[in-house]
Amino acid sequence: MNNTMEYKGYVGSVEFSEEDGLFYGKVMGIRALISYEGSNAAELVNDFHGAVDDYLALCEENHTEPERAYKGSFNVRISPELHKQAVIFAMAHNMSLNSLVENSIEQAVHAG
């Protein structure tokens, strides 16, 4: 089961409240709170699309740049020893540390 959906580059979560009998979610990876809900899947998707469209329209109206999630840059904290080993490995294989990390993540994502 997939617990996310995507629209115009934004990824939204999909949750269910048994108590309320509603599906709900929020756009992930940005600071702005964009939430949506629906009593069934079609309503949830429509409200998600509407919430993203409203957010983009508000940004345009206010002449502000919409937040974009997953820009391709992030900080990773690892032990100094692993950092050293990764740099040595990357250098020995004529690659940058960024390439090593990207390749490793790509392999992990496609394997699982």
pLDDT digits (tens, 9 = 90+) for 63-111: 999 998 888 888 899 999 999 999 999 999 999 999 999 999 999 999 8
Cβ neighbourhood burial of 51 (10 Å; 0-12, 13-18, 19+): buried
In angstroms, rounded to a whole number, what is the distance separating the alpha carbons of residues 103 and 107?
6
pLDDT score of 72: 83
Sign of CA dihedral 41, 2, 29, 62: negative
pLDDT tens-digit map of 19-36 = 999 999 999 999 999 999
Residue 14, pLDDT > 60, answer: yes
- Distances from the Cα of 10 to the Cαs of 2, 69, 94, 107, in angstroms? 15, 7, 35, 24
pLDDT score of 2: 74
Strand partners, 27: 12
pLDDT score of 94: 95
